[in-house]
Amino acid sequence: MARYTDSVCRMCRREGTKLFLKGEKCFSSKCAMEKRPTSPGQHGQGRRMKKPSEYGLQLREKQKVRRAYGLMEGQFKRTFEKAEGMKGITGENLLQLLERRLDNVVYRSGLANSRAQARQFVCHGLITVSGRKVDIPSYITDAGDVIGIKETRKDMEHFKIVKEGINRVVPEWIATDAETLTAKIEALPKREDIDLTLQENMIVEFYSR
């Protein structure tokens, strides 16, 4: 399976905004966007100065969201097609599906420091959904689901730190319990729950070309 192996900080610099791909580092002065906010590469500064075309703006918006959630192009397009077939506004449906991914819920609930780490936890069988082990990062969670940690893995140093208190701001649609290392999905996420600055209508326009 294809995966991105280069520095993820380059992604933030290319999109010109923090995508929070490196956990706690993104909130510190060590963040690449704090040190070098220009696009990567020899001509990075020039890219910012050049006025992008309409297609370029749509592409950058799509890339920003895709990279923030850690999806390859094929995965992202399939998610868009699923959102397109749902009732309601396609752009909002897309964001809701991305937010409901198991790896994202594990991250958003504070059980992992980044989506990449959350994806690793899921793939390694550390995560349960309503008591059942699920090792598929793209698994779509639903209201009422309880996300937890496998009992035999709760003694890991990372989860001991999490038990001391979840520092990240957890969205209202997720109710967390640091003591039991569980997170319950109280309701499906709404558009205002998305903390990324984005224009989802541009993504719809990009795939509608």
What's 87's domain CATH number? Answer: 1.10.1050.10
Tell me which residue range forms the domain holding 155: 100-191
pLDDT for 66: 95
Task: Name the DSSP class of 146.
Answer: E
Q: Could you report how far apart the first and last alpha carbons of the chain are, in Å?
A: 28
pLDDT tens digit sequence for 49-75: 578 899 999 999 999 999 999 999 999
Q: Judge if pTM exceeds 0.85.
A: no
Question: Would you place residue 182 in the very low, low, confident or very high pLDDT band (cuts 50, 70, 90)?
Answer: very high
- Statement to judge: residues 78 and 143 lie in one domain: no
pLDDT band for position 155 (cuts 50, 70, 90): very high
SS3 assignment, position 86 = coil
Q: Which helix (H) or strand (E) holds 34?
A: helix 32-35
Question: Half-sphere exposure (CA, 13 Å, Cβ side) for 6?
Answer: 8
Number of domains in the chain: 2
Give the residues across from 183 on adjacent strands. Answer: 147, 176
pLDDT at 39 over 70: no
Neighbours of 190 (CB within 10 A): 14
d(CA 207, CA 59): 9
- Shared domain for 83 and 106, answered yes or no, is no
- Judge whether residue 21 has pLDDT over 70: no
* Residue pLDDT, tens place only, 157-171: 999 999 887 767 899
Interacting residues of 15 by C-beta distance below 8 A, sequence separation 6+: 60, 63, 64, 67
Q: Which of 2-16, 53-67, 91-105, 177-191 bottoms out in mean pLDDT, i.e. has the lowest? A: 2-16
Q: What is the pLDDT of residue 185?
A: 97
4 pLDDT exceeds 70?
A: no
CA–CA separation, 172 vs 17, rounded Å? 24
Same-domain status, 133 and 182: yes
CATH code for position 150: 3.10.290.10
Average pLDDT over residues 129-145: 97
- The answer to the question of residue 1 being in a domain is no
Residue 122 lies in a domain: yes
What is the residue whose two structure tokens read 């600055």?
A: 197
150 and 177: one domain? Answer: yes
User: Are 161 and 167 contacting, i.e. CB atoms less than 8 angstroms apart?
Assistant: no
Identify whether residues 112 and 87 lie together within a single domain: no
Q: Are residues 64 and 89 in the same domain?
A: yes
